[in-house]
Structure 1
Amino acid sequence: MPYPKLMLAAAMGALLTGCAQTNPTPQVSQRQVVEHYADLGHAVYQDSLTRAEQLNLAIKQFLAEPSEQSLSNARTAWIAARVPYQQSEAFRFGNPVVDEWEGQLNAWPLDEGLIDYVAPGYQHELGNQGATANIIANKVLQIGGERLDVSTLTPDLLASLNELAGSEANVASGYHAIEFLLWGQDLNGTGAGAGERPYTDYVLGKECTNGNCDRRADYLQAASELLVSDLSWMVEQWQATDSDNYRAELTALPASEGMRRMLFGMGSLSLGELAGERMKVALVANSVEDEHDCFSDNTHNSHYYNEKGIVNLMFGEYQRIDGSTLQGPSLLQLVAQEDESAAKKIDAQMRTSEQAVYQLVQSAEVNNVHFDQLIDANNSSGNQLVQDAIDALVEQTRAIELAANTIGITNLSPDTADHEF
């Protein structure tokens, strides 16, 4: 199954594209920018769905004939699926329909012992009653005073088990549950290497390793089908042809409110989520448990494509998975119409910040030093590389706030996730 190689060439191809002219003609309106924002949302979710469907097919093929090659193909499909989805996260925070939904697809960190076998003494959330429940090995779970029948592993069942017993670490579905089932735990700490789950964990009969291969296959298939179903629903929410969905609600609002939602989402992803939750937490604690794509060592790409999603919205364009580019009225154009000097400053900062986050990709793909190695307490140069990315994201957030102020949206106050920068 052909997928783009997500290494240096692919990242370079996506790097710093589409910096808009700072003196555009004809002028654009806030209403036009909001409409195009919705077009971008539909495109990125449609691409996420397409890649999830390809992942689902690769998983079906792997489960039908488990082998090192078919497992590798499924892993490659998972990595490819992350590219559009991570860019879609720029639509979080400001759009309630996305924020209320995304936890089922991308919640992390997760206590993987809820799902399957783990190494002895693995770190999990203190007090989490489901941390070692091992759904795959047990058809009935006893969690506190609650007895749960998990004998038939279906998409609906997995969805119902998220945040079991009130713990956010109990993640039963989504990209990271699938990632764990494809890679297994990364037991290398801050050393080189990702998870090494054997394909024989899915082989039926005497060659099955670690037991319950049939239920493990059922779980993986159910999680994959749920991912496709969830993304299908979100695509519908951004379709232009539907008069009763979130897009219709968004575009019926005053244009200034649509712009505020867009800018708040960009700023909150840049600051509280990406700089804070996804980088600072792991760096300060030197904790691989807080790494985003921790099983696959794909964190550098996930961080970069989060950043790319923010850049897309500033410049009003998105490179689709088929290679085409969707481009239209941009936020930066609106700023330039009011203050060309501010637009140039924002343009320069977006370039600088994207380049800083891209250094994490270069470290992984060129130097083979991945995010979990960069945050090692003894890797001072690696720590600095991550800190430089954090600092650049903080400055980028200031540029986003400048854009908001310039077009008349004051007191944006992006979410800091309670971090201080």
Structure 2
Amino acid sequence: MNKSLLLGASIALAGLTGCSNTPTTNVSEDTVLQNYSDIAFAVYSDSLETAKALKVATDALIANPSEETLQNAKAAWKAARVPYQQSEVYRFGNAVVDDWEGDLNAWPLDEGLIDYVASNYNRNSANLEEGEEIDQSAVYSVVTNPNLDIDNDGKVDTAEINASLIASLHELRGGEANVSRGYHAVEFLLWGQDLNGTNAGAGNRSYTDYVNGEGCTSGNAAADAAICVRRGQYLTTSMEMLVSDLETMVAEWDSAKDGNYRATLVAEGQEGIKKMLMGIGELAGGELAGERMRVALVANDPEDEHDCFSDNTHYSHYYNIKGIQNVYLGRYVRVNGDVVEGPSVNALIAAADEAAASQLEAKIETARLAVEGLVTSAEDKANPQAFDQLISPSNKAGNQIVQKSIDSLLQVTEATEGAAKKIGITEL
């Protein structure tokens, strides 16, 4: 595996620093949107290249299952999350991204739809209304069942695991938790369930789950070799779909292509700037502070954390706020170390009201530092505590670390709304 990709998953390469030295010359709505699009193209291109590297690693795992190839695949998955999570600031405001994103990053997922789960598992049994029936798709296990009966509408042919089948199962019957594809499906296929609750530890799938022949397992139980083959097919197909999906989005931001989304956006002027600021405010407040942190903290439920199988949630949250900072300051550091930099929305706002621009810049940096606290906690050599431990009802100090991040992210949203008004955008 490419050493730089392994380093890319570390906090060191990512650079836990802000940078406000954004060029302020030739700042206009047009130049800001051009640079915003350049960064989008770079971050999606990095996401594509790291996904391709992940596919190489998962192919190696399937071809030669071992502890080494499994660990390499896990490291490649974490490296692939570094650029992708920095792309999510483009989701809100840009419908072309939001409509597409659900195929790649939907969560939380009912893992029983994909593969074996613990005997006491029934994710969909939580919070049922009176008289409501459990959605049995939570325990279908496509990998281990070659024929499934769904809603008594006849048999779904799962004898061959291919892209068509996986796509047809995604959000089955409108269930948002029926996630069959994307980063988190791959995460589950590499780590397996995390059965540790709010205690230390991530998923612990064995490489023997991919052994083709004698020694094939499904967890602690011996399994027919055909099951391991099917599991490998599911992983291979999932990676092919992920790479294809990312290729689609790279093309949408490519300046060399005519008639794509980039061309449309750059021509929008203030409406395009509004989309930039909407992405910052909504990802910070509604999504990251709300859906990804507050929900898990209030419920004290590790099933609601973003990367619940790998316990990589602290990094996913960190790279979300880093993506926000990238867009605001107009600067992105690529996986290979190259820098994409140009006119920023920060400079555009500063031309109208320097105090408002500086305040938003400071709020984003404060939030970045607060979310960095999640990483510091998880990487603490003496007493590491990942996100699922921090949200435990008995961990008051951990709860405060998460709450500090939530509070600072909500302030980013508030400051974004105030700054937007300074350039004539009255409502986000």
2:315 aligns with: 301
Partner residue of 1:177? 185
Secondary structure of the structure 1 residue equivalent to 2:186: helix
TM-score by length of 1: 0.94
Instruction: Describe how 1:145-224 pairs up with structure 2 within 5 A.
Output: 145-146=152-153, 147-210=155-218, 211=223, 212-224=227-239
Aligned residue among 373, 388, 395 for 2:389: 373
Residue 243 of structure 1 is matched in structure 2 by: 258
State the distance in 2 between where 1:323 and 1:137 align: 43
Pairing partner for 1:9 from 3, 7, 12: 12
CA contact (8 A) 2:305 2:313 kept: yes
Q: What does residue 375 of structure 2 align with?
A: 361
Question: How far did residue 403 of structure 1 move?
Answer: 2.1
Aligned to 1:228: 243
Instruction: Give structure 1 regions of 4+ aligned residues with deviation exceeding 4 angstroms.
Output: none
For residues 318 and 398 of structure 2, the distance between their equivalents in structure 1, rounded to whole angstroms, comes to 16
Cα deviation, 1:355-394, whole Å, max 9, x if unaligned, reads 0011000000124110000000000000000000000000
CA distance in 2, matches of 1:186, 1:116: 14
CA distance in 2 between partners of 1:250 and 1:158 (Å): 32
8 A Cα contact 1:332 1:403, kept in partner: no
* Equivalent residue pairs, number: 407
Instruction: Look up the SS of the partner of 2:123 in the other structure.
Output: coil
Q: For the Cα contact (< 8 Å) 1:316–1:328, is it kept in 2?
A: yes
- Residue 135 of structure 1 aligns to a residue in which SS? coil
Residues in 1 aligned to 2:247 and 2:164: alpha-carbon distance in whole angstroms: 15
Indicate if the aligned counterparts of 1:113 and 1:134 stay in contact, CA closer than 8 A.
yes
Structure 1: 5+ residue stretches without partners: 413-421
Q: Does the aligned pair in 2 maintain the 1:53–1:228 contact within 8 Å? A: yes
**Which residue number in structure 1 is paired with residue 91 of structure 2?**
92
Alignment match, 1:137: 144
Q: Is the 8 A contact 2:390 2:398 kept in 1?
A: yes
Compute the displacement of 1:145 (Å): 2.3
Equivalent of 1:275 in 266, 286, 289:
289
**TM-score in terms of structure 2 length:** 0.93
CA deviation profile, 1:325-349 (whole Å, cap 9, x unmatched): 1100001101111111222212221
Give the match's secondary structure for 1:326: strand
Partner of 1:401: 417
Contact in 1 for aligned 2:25/2:343 (Cα 8 Å): no
Unaligned residue ranges in structure 2 (runs of 5+):
126-133
Amino acid at match of 1:394: L
Q: Structure 2: how far apart are the matches of 1:249 and 1:139?
A: 45
The aligned runs of 1:114-133 (5 Å cut-off) are 114-126=113-125, 127-133=134-140
CA shift at 1:9, angstroms?
2.8
Q: 1:240 aligns to what SS in structure 2?
A: coil
Pairing partner for 2:352 from 338, 341, 365: 338
SS at match of 1:152: coil
Equivalent-residue separation in structure 1 for 2:236 and 2:271 (angstroms) = 40
- Secondary structure of the corresponding residue to residue 131 of structure 1: helix
Answering whether residue 83 of structure 2 is matched by residue 75 of structure 1, we say no
Residue 417 of structure 1 aligns with which residue? none
Q: CA deviation at 1:311?
A: 0.6
